[in-house]
Chain A
Amino acid sequence: MKLFELFISLAFVNNVVLSKFYAICPLMGVSKKPKNALNMGLAVIFVIVIASIVTWLLYYYVLVPLDIIYMDLITFILVIASLVQFLEMLLKKTSPEVYKAMGVYLPLITTNCAVLGVALDNITAGYNLIEAIVAGFAVSFGFLAVIYIFALIRERLDYSDVPEAFRGAPIALISAGIMACAICGLAGLI
């Protein structure tokens, strides 16, 4: 039950994009088409879950025993970058279809601050490994849900009669703000 509450809390109530404002760059950049948004979201789930496991293990089995926990930020950045390179190489060799589906979005995840944010939050919140995995999945699922819904909204906005000054990024940011207000309604659910 605790894990379910953690999932609901991180995926919806404390959504990584709309309440913490992480990963705004991919939200704005890769939400022009729903298909691209879906691919990006799936790639983010893939990377965040694996990054959560790897960074948690490194923190508690390397940084803490060596008493170098002040190296956590630089370690997580390099580990996430390494992980993305490794996953890209692995997919090239083993799953061309998945590699094709993720396309250019896989290397772009290196710069997605939600990945680093989740890794750091897992440590700050003191989660155990299972909780860290659930947290990673919940956060990335929340990201997928928001970016996909946002892409559907933006697709409809393209056909809407939006005033000239608001076309493009301005109306997208206003829509994101309204979505953030809407998700505030879930506060207190958990």
Chain B
Amino acid sequence: MIYAVIWFVLICAIYFTLYILNHRTPAPEGCEFESPACAGCHNIACTHRKDDES
């Protein structure tokens, strides 16, 4: 059980570290996708959804 808890904490820590590092890494010039651009589906909860459709 203790291994499971340690493993869970470890993989969560890895995920959050990579998430923060990725968001702090600037996109290359001309490749900025910071604003949501996807209009693929009608999921209003999706963070990639186009603003004008929400």
Contact = CB atoms under 8 A, between A and B. Distances in A.
Interface of A: 25-26, 28-30, 32, 62-63, 66-68, 70-71, 74-75, 78-79, 81-82, 85-86, 88-89, 92-93, 96, 99-100, 103-104, 107-108
A92 B11 CA distance: 23
Contacts of B31: 92, 96, 99-100, 103
B41 A68 contact: no
Nearest to B31: A100
B11 A75 contact: yes
A34 to B, nearest CB: 14
Interface residues of B, number: 26
Contacts of B19: 85
A85 to B, nearest CB: 4
Contacts of B41: 25, 28-29
B7 A75 contact: yes
A15 B19 CA distance: 32
Given A89-B21, A99-B27, A32 B40 contact: yes
B54 interface: no
Nearest to B18: A85
B37 A104 contact: yes
Contacts of B18: 82, 85-86, 89
A78 B15 contact: yes
B40 A30 contact: yes
Contacts of B29: 96
Given A70-B4, A71-B4, A96-B30, 13 more contacts: A25-B41, A63-B7, A67-B3, A75-B11, A78-B11, A81-B15, A82-B14, A82-B15, A92-B28, A92-B31, A99-B31, A100-B31, A108-B48
